[in-house]
Amino acid sequence: MSLTRRDFARQSALTGAGVALAGSVGALASAPNALAATDADHTANADHAEDAARGPAAGAHHGVGYGPLIPDPDGLLALPAGFKYRVITYSGRTKLESGEITPSNHDGTAAFCGPRGATLLVNNHELKGPRSGWQYPVPLTEGLVYDPAASGGCTVVEVRPGGHVAEWVGIAGTSTNCAGGTTPWGTWLTGEETEDKAGQNGMTKDHGYIFEVDPADRRANRAPKPVKAFGRYAHEAVVIDPRRGHAYLTEDASGPNGLLFRWTPPAGFHHGRGRLRTLADDAGVLQAFKCFDANGKFVDDLSRATKTGTVYGVDWVDVPDRDARTVPVRKQFSAGQVTRARKLEGMWWADGGTYIVSSYARDESPVQHDGAVWFYDPKRRTLTLKVLLGVNPDPSVDGAFDGPDNITVSPYGGLVIAEDGEGVQHLFGATDSGRTYPIARNELNIGTEDEPEYSEFTGVTFSPDGHTLYANIQTPGIMLAITGPWKRHKR
């Protein structure tokens, strides 16, 4: 049933009534119904640029967060005072149980409770194309291979009490495993950010699918089978609505910009371990989103929103050919049929809905920005802009944030975001009152002294007990565990 324009207009009035304006300039108000009255010309980056100009003492972010970042004498990770890190895996240095080298290009990650107090982490490896193109592809472990020509996949990392680490392959022979998402039943969904078919880039099978990986049951991962019902396109993240059973999926693509999808399970289907394998390739209904504003006007691209607090109504439009046999899914829609957004990336389910990242928008979008976080409320069928980062004037200067990517909701309130922008790279937090603050800075220069380069952060996720923040430096592929005096932020 479609959400009518009249319904949305009435709902918008109710949502806005009696809600206090929250936050500072460029604020994130991550409570589902909070609004922040700011626009793209007055963003958090303006505040951070001023902080940088005033010098390091301003890095405390007005008392929000944990204070300024302290340079690392080992040249890896700058953290606030009282925090420390530990390297869990390091491609080229650490090894799997099999004796093979830890694969490179760490990306999306999630943490699960393991046996006897251990933490199990499923770690994507964003490796595209043939195996010959990478020094450390995911090993082709017998029984766990989808396409022996492909270089990507996932590993499972077990961190045991006392510090012992073990790592093994969860799935191999997949391509460009970027983000993904957890399920309510305790498994990991890994997405292929590619549209390569058999015969392209050396592949022997079609790619661009979602696969399920069970961190706790190695046998369940044998004979990998793509969840074709979720569609074939450049997958980023996926979340499952634990109440309604819908899957929401982001697409990172351009020419034209990508889409947000919703998959509705078929009647009588019940989620659970191993159940996605039983789905027919055309099971359920896959749809793309279509937004309209409070006046009922169609919104062609999410970058049109220039004020945090902007609320759009959402309709869903059926995908004609989800397996994209001849035409990529995003190209199956003509102008006016669906809403698009550049670099739809990380998602996280919390607060009764899903947080969704649009990493940036440039000339391929109607309006430019350096990052946005939206919140989709499935009950109201509304999409609300929670954070908007203006274009960073100088990414090489520490202070401003740009290019949000992987995201998680912190057990201490607010969000923690992995930065995938230009120049300096951070993990940063955002409180519900609208303040952003640094948590970590990547200090591993993979460029030169004259032209420094710093890899993006990925895979941000807290341990089940909330004591440890795990995150990756994608290149060369380093998983880190960060601990310290975490404190609760107001929700």
- pLDDT tens digits, one per residue of 223-234: 999 999 999 999
For the stretch 32-54, pLDDT in tens is: 222 222 333 334 444 444 443 33
Residue 299 near residue 292 (C-beta atoms within 8 A): yes
Cα separation, 486 vs 412, in Å, equals: 7
H-helix or E-strand spanning residue 416: strand 415-419
Cα separation, 375 vs 32, in Å, equals: 7
What's residue 392's pLDDT? 86
User: What Å distances lie between residue 264 and 148, 241, 326, CA to CA?
Assistant: 32, 10, 24
What's residue 396's pLDDT? 85
Q: Which residue has the tokens 């957004």?
A: 341
> Which residue in 312, 465, 367, 345 sits closest to 417, CA to CA?
345
CATH superfamily of 5-483: TolB, C-terminal domain (2.120.10.30)
H-helix or E-strand spanning residue 14: helix 5-16
216: which strand partners? none
Cα separation, 454 vs 323, in Å, equals: 36
What's residue 490's pLDDT? 66
212: which strand partners? 189
DSSP 63-130: T-TT-PEEPPTTSSEEEETT-EEEEEEETTT-B-TTSPBPPS-EEEEEEEE-GGG-EEEEEEE---SB
Query: 285-292 and 298-299 as β-strands: parallel, antiparallel, unpaired?
Result: antiparallel
C-alpha angle 156/414/439, rounded to 5°? 65
**Can you tell me whether residue 228 is helix, strand or coil?**
helix
What's residue 430's pLDDT? 86
What's residue 15's pLDDT? 39
> Which residue in 62, 36, 67 sits closest to 48, CA to CA?
62
Cα separation, 467 vs 161, in Å, equals: 13
For the stretch 60-91, pLDDT in tens is: 334 689 999 999 999 999 999 999 999 999 99
Span between the terminal Cα atoms of the chain, in Å: 33
What's residue 180's pLDDT? 96
DSSP 341-367: BTTEEEEEEETTEEEEEE--B-TTSSS
What's residue 185's pLDDT? 98
- Which segments in the chain show pLDDT lower than 70? 1-63, 433-434, 490-491
